[in-house]
Chain A
Amino acid sequence: MSDQPIEDLERRCPRLGSPIPFRYCLISGEDDAICWKILDCWWETFDVEGYLKKNMPEAEFNHLMATADKPKNKVSSIIDIIEKAKKR
């Protein structure tokens, strides 16, 4: 691996379509949480799972591992966002 800090590693974000640094993936999920796609995007580049395990609270890490492959349906997500918007 290069000497570049892991957080500065860059790749093209498949969701945005733009190049982004790894540190962006740590804050671009729901409510500034980790992006749920982080494992898929970075496993090729470095031990992202090990990194997250080391740097995340155990409960959050376990939640990420448990939910990353059980994503919410898009329509259901939209309904959720509508409900939240109505409450604002």
Chain B
Amino acid sequence: MEQRKIFLSEDEMPRQWYNILADIKMNPPLGPDGNPVTPEQLAPVFPMNLIEQEVSTERWIDIPEPVLDALKIWRPSPLVRARNLEKALDTPARIYFKNESLSPPGSHKPNTAVAQAYYNKEFGIKKITTETGAGQWGSALAFACALFGLECKVYMVRVSFDQKPYRKSMMATWGGNCIASPSPYTKAGRDALERDPNTPGSLGCAISEAIEEAVSDESGQTRYSLGSVLNHVMLHQTIIGLEAKKQMEKIREYPDIIIGCAGGGSNFAGLSFPFVRDKINGKEIEIYPVEPTGCPTLTKAPFVYDHGDTAEYTPLLPMHSLGHAFMPPPIHSGGLRYHGMAPTVSQLVNEGILTPRSVKQKEVFEAGILVARTEGIIPAPETNHALAAVIEEAKKAKEEGKEKVILFNWSGHGLIDLTAYDNYLAGNIKDIVLSDEERIESEKIFANYPKPQSLKSK
């Protein structure tokens, strides 16, 4: 019988997190005064034990026993060989994933939520506040707070609060208090409601409310918690990759390619950072954070001679182009540089250790549907970004006839995000819907340019 899942026993769980800050150099974040942020500036919202982790450069940090006990509720997560997907793609690649959808809230988020709840408790904190968009992080934190006997207050952006009542139900079941933001409970919320009583809210307002509640608690027993981006969050998530390494060793495999979706960076970092260390130490491995496409792709743009610059200083070159006058959005050139991304991930991209990949909306859902119909689990929409890249790499391996080993992170299930699937299945998600008129308009600039030949070497 072919093996599908590779398990670790609880005794084999990693006992330390891996801290990437020991192996890379980072510019410090700057405060409003232009000077590096100090631990004291963060103290009103984070407990000092977490701030110490945030700035630590120790390579290995012990996982406290109570955190390990909490993680054992669903960890170690299985490493799964996606044999059905391999067959569907008829690829020689061996595809493995860490199934992080098995946690009680259904995603990788509780890996850091339980650690943060524990450190807050240790510091004497009674209540944690946070903001949540669709509710994934809010439910993870509510779950974690329940385990450590902490009060949890979650400001959920109203537009999502109204759309996703089950997230609120999950949080309430775990004892969390989820309220729509803007709320009347904070000055930031009241101001927003005064401007527009029917406002759908925003993440910015929800963050302001959560932080205001922590800062204004004169007892000093309330702190704020963030589920992505920060160094200590990435640190806690490395248990994913550390487990994966042990599991792959058990079956004498090592990945050629690692793939993860990169929203705030935490699930990607969690899987990849332990392998990044190997790459820094000379191991040959491709590591791809995947994000939504941010610029026109070759297939959608005509093959023309064009200037490489808007000022027309550079010579005409044959290229796929929507016209040098076309102003693409800013994200595409460097990739992964928006402020929702973990600085450690951005730094590794800048150093060329990670290679960002982008996928289009429609590809993302096509991938999700294929994998749901082969592997069975309905992926979270974020996970679908990784899946689209996995499928691309598996097909490439087939073309090249190479038995590549692909490892990716199944960051969560999509059972509470089915609206996104409904929209796709109803045909409401399309890649490019520039009208013909708009495209013709953008391409008019080429009218008097010479046309290159479409040459083939063979």
Contact = CB atoms under 8 A, between A and B. Distances in A.
A15 B339 contact: no
Interface in A10-63: 10-20, 24, 27-32, 35-37, 39-41, 43-47, 49
Contact of A82 (B196, B211, B428, B432): B211
Contacts of A44: 293, 360-361, 431-433
Interface residues of B, number: 72
Given A46-B433, A68-B330, A40 B294 contact: yes
Interface stretch (B141-149, B157-165, B282-290): B157-165
B444 to A, nearest CB: 14
B365 to A, nearest CB: 10
A76 B329 contact: no
Contact of A75 (B29, B199, B431, B435): B29
B41 A82 contact: yes
A59 B419 CA distance: 37
A15 B340 contact: yes
Contact of B29 (A40, A69, A76, A86): A76
Most chain B beta-carbon neighbours within 10 Å: one of A15, A27, A35, A84: A15
Interface stretch (B87-95, B120-128, B202-210): B202-210
B331 A40 contact: yes
Given A19-B419, A49-B327, A82-B211, A73 B160 contact: no
Contacts of B381: 12, 17
B381 to A, nearest CB: 6
B243 interface: no
Given A40-B294, A74-B229, A76-B37, A12 B31 contact: no
B138 to A, nearest CB: 11
A75 to B, nearest CB: 4
Given A32-B196, A85-B211, A14 B292 contact: yes
Contacts of B200: 20, 24, 27-28
A17 B133 contact: yes
Interface string B30-65: 111000010001101100000000000000000000
A71 B337 contact: yes
A79 B37 contact: yes
Contacts of A16: 133-134, 157, 159-160, 203
B82 interface: no
Nearest to A18: B160
A61 B226 CA distance: 31
B423 A10 contact: yes
A40 B292 contact: yes
B216 interface: yes
B330 A69 contact: yes
A13 to B, nearest CB: 8
A18 B37 contact: no
B431 A1 contact: no
Nearest to A77: B339
Given A69-B330, A69-B331, A18 B159 contact: yes
A88 B212 contact: yes
Contacts of B330: 39-40, 68-69
A31 B37 CA distance: 24
A85 B343 CA distance: 25
B270 interface: no
A86 B203 CA distance: 19
B455 interface: no
Contacts of B433: 1, 44-46
Contacts of B25: none
B272 interface: no
10 residue pairs, one from A and one from B, having the closest CB atoms: A17-B134, A69-B330, A71-B339, A39-B329, A16-B133, A75-B29, A88-B187, A85-B212, A28-B202, A85-B215
Given A15-B133, A75-B230, A79-B42, 6 more contacts: A17-B134, A35-B202, A68-B330, A73-B343, A74-B29, A84-B208
Interface of B: 29-32, 37, 41-42, 44-45, 133-136, 157, 159-160, 163-164, 186-188, 192, 195-196, 199-204, 207-208, 211-212, 215-216, 226, 229-230, 263, 292-295, 327-331, 333, 337-340, 343, 360-361, 381-382, 417, 419-420, 423, 428-435, 438
Interface of A: 1, 10-20, 24, 27-32, 35-37, 39-41, 43-47, 49, 68-69, 71-86, 88
19 contacts: A10-B423, A15-B203, A17-B133, A17-B417, A20-B200, A24-B200, A36-B338, A39-B329, A40-B292, A43-B328, A44-B431, A44-B433, A45-B433, A69-B330, A69-B337, A73-B339, A74-B229, A85-B216, A88-B186
